[in-house]
Chains A and B, each alone.
Chain A
Amino acid sequence: MFYIIKIKTNDDEYSLESYNKEIIQREMDLYFDSFFGASREFKEKIPKVSIKPKISEPSFNNSFPIEPKTNNVIKNEINFEKIKQNTKPESIEGLTLTDYNPTPKKETPIKETYFKQPQNTDFGREIKNNASDNVVQNTLNEDKKTENENLIGNSLKFETQTKVEPVADFSEIAKNNIQSEKPDLFNLKEEPKSNNDIVFDSVKKAEPSNGDVVNLADLLNEKPKDINLSSIYDSDEFNDASTKDNTFKEDNSDLSEILNEPDASAQKIEADMSINESATSPEIENILNAVKNGVDKTNLDHKAENENLMDMFDPSKNIDIDPILLNSTDGLSNDDQFSTYKSSDNAYKKNEAMLEDLFSFNGTDDTKTNIQQNIAVTNEQSDSILNINETSSDYESDANKHEPELKLDNTEQLDISENATTQEVQSVMPQSHEEHTGAVIDYSVYRAGFVINEFSDDFLICAYYIKNILHQDCFSMKFINSKLFPASGKIADMGVTDELISKGYIKEYEVEFSKQYAITPDGERYFVAKFQS
């Protein structure tokens, strides 16, 4: 603990330092009484004797600078008197009074001086100086006896400073608070904290209350909010937002039904696709995907019935249009070509499914013939570019009227040509299709003309072969493996298809719980560039 008392006047500044609390307290009481009692008396009590202490600590400045200025008012009232020489100084708290240097060093910013409190009651008692043997007696008036009697032998450190800091006028503060309650100025119950503590406290105070505290750890650990698509589809906001879409402006009133009723939505989207070519835009694709997902989620029971319609919603089909099919639909508008492509594509798929049913069917020959006739009609319609809207809607409306075996025939309600022959029916089959297209070389022979280094190339060649030689727009893994394995001895798996799909050479889509693949125009161009150039 250290205690410093500084006394400042207009001309001088004195500093009294000590590690003894009692000394400081008495000095303060003395100064305080005079300070507020009579300034004149107080001035007289100010010690003007400085004694340089003999200290073992090297940090102390041995110079003894205290000398009141000549113009000092206090000096005029204080008489310094040498009372004793060669007096051994007293040591208090490890400090020893040392030399007195009468010439203060003005250059030193802080000059340390020590004085000894006068014995008895006066400041003017003997003060001992050890080094210089200068003992000064400060003689004051006799009536200025104070409590300094007990301070005999105590040495205090005096310090002079050239710097005078502006201070608050305590008298004004005292006047303002004189009649009031205890001012806050004196409330020092809490020990002030260091700067760091204060900053920390301020930061803590700036934090929100517990209810508003944002826990960073919670933020970091917080899982991202799950986007429940179904809830979005079913929400009013989504419906409202969807109805604002200009693309579906004509069907705004039914869009909510589309989202909630898969059957109706399928028809509605189908109509929009056939009318608006802008269905390839990202917005429409997103909506179509949303409807598709919503249908899959909300109406699992009708999923089988909607598979064909869902196929129409596949955006991948909207992007790549088979140029061969487009070539066969010269004279039609783009919309019609688009519908034609869909119709032909679906027709082939349905035919495949019907063939499977046909092979597993145990009915009579008449029934088989009837089915084959239907298949022939279907194939004929696909070749003659039927509109998928009609077949799909008719199929949807009348699907429940037929037996399960016949439900796959989406042309049941169309007029069946009685002139259809079994040859036409057999042309639906891939083998028959090959026969229909003329002499078709086997794939093993076809691939022999290419230098194949990778199996993916073999797969692509086979896909090209299926499309351009067998004239099948799509194929299943089972079908292409039936071509690949006899020729190459390898079986294609999902890795091969994924690789080609990622390259954009093969596209994939689901048809009735099975995946179908087809070579894309990019795949064909790649094939031509690599193997036929």
Chain B
Amino acid sequence: MSQYVFKMKKGELEIEFCSDDAEFVEQQLEKWREEILKKTQQK
């Protein structure tokens, strides 16, 4: 079974997301990506 791990780190904080649901990982990362872009544009 494949396992996907995605880590985010900001300063001392780090979020790691791990799952075997490829579709969900894809959706979630895409969502995060869009959020990151929005927040960056707002700044």
Contacts and interface: CB of A to CB of B under 8 A. Distances in A.
A167 B16 contact: yes
Given A28-B17, A171-B9, A36 B29 contact: no
A105 interface: no
- Between B7, B21, B22, B39, the greatest number of chain A beta carbons within 10 A of the residue's beta carbon is seen for B7
29 contacts: A1-B19, A1-B20, A2-B19, A5-B15, A5-B16, A5-B17, A6-B15, A6-B16, A6-B18, A7-B14, A7-B15, A8-B15, A9-B12, A10-B12, A21-B21, A25-B24, A28-B28, A28-B32, A35-B10, A35-B15, A36-B35, A37-B39, A169-B9, A175-B40, A178-B40, A179-B40, A182-B33, A188-B29, A194-B2
Contacts of A39: 10-11, 13
A199 interface: no
Contacts of A193: 2
A17 to B, nearest CB: 9
A28 B27 CA distance: 12
A189 B4 CA distance: 12
B11 to A, nearest CB: 6
Interface in A4-50: 4-10, 21, 24-25, 28-29, 31-33, 35-37, 39, 42-43
Given A21-B24, A32-B35, A188-B4, A4 B17 contact: yes
Interface string B25-41: 11011111101110110
Interface residues of B, number: 32
A247 B32 CA distance: 87
B35 A191 contact: no
B8 A35 contact: yes
Contacts, number: 107
A3 interface: yes
A174 B4 contact: no
Nearest to A3: B19
Given A36-B35, A189-B26, A174 B40 contact: yes
B18 to A, nearest CB: 4
A513 interface: no
A170 interface: yes
Interface string A186-201: 1011011110000000
A188 B2 CA distance: 12
A220 interface: no
Interface residues of A, number: 43
B20 A2 contact: yes
Contacts of B22: 188, 191-192
B9 A192 contact: no
Given A31-B15, A188-B22, 14 more contacts: A1-B20, A3-B17, A3-B19, A5-B16, A5-B17, A6-B17, A8-B15, A36-B35, A36-B39, A39-B13, A169-B9, A170-B7, A185-B29, A194-B2
Contact of B25 (A6, A29, A188): A188
Contacts of A241: none
A494 interface: no
Contacts of B11: 39, 171
A3 B8 contact: no
A7 B13 contact: yes
Contacts of B32: 28, 32
Contacts of B29: 185-186, 188
Nearest to B7: A167
B24 A8 contact: no
Interface in A418-447: none
Shortest 6 CB-CB distances between A and B: which pairs?
Answer: A170-B8, A6-B16, A8-B14, A4-B18, A167-B7, A191-B22
A168 interface: yes
B24 A167 contact: no
Nearest to A25: B28
Contacts of B17: 3-6, 28
Given A4-B18, A9-B12, A168 B7 contact: yes
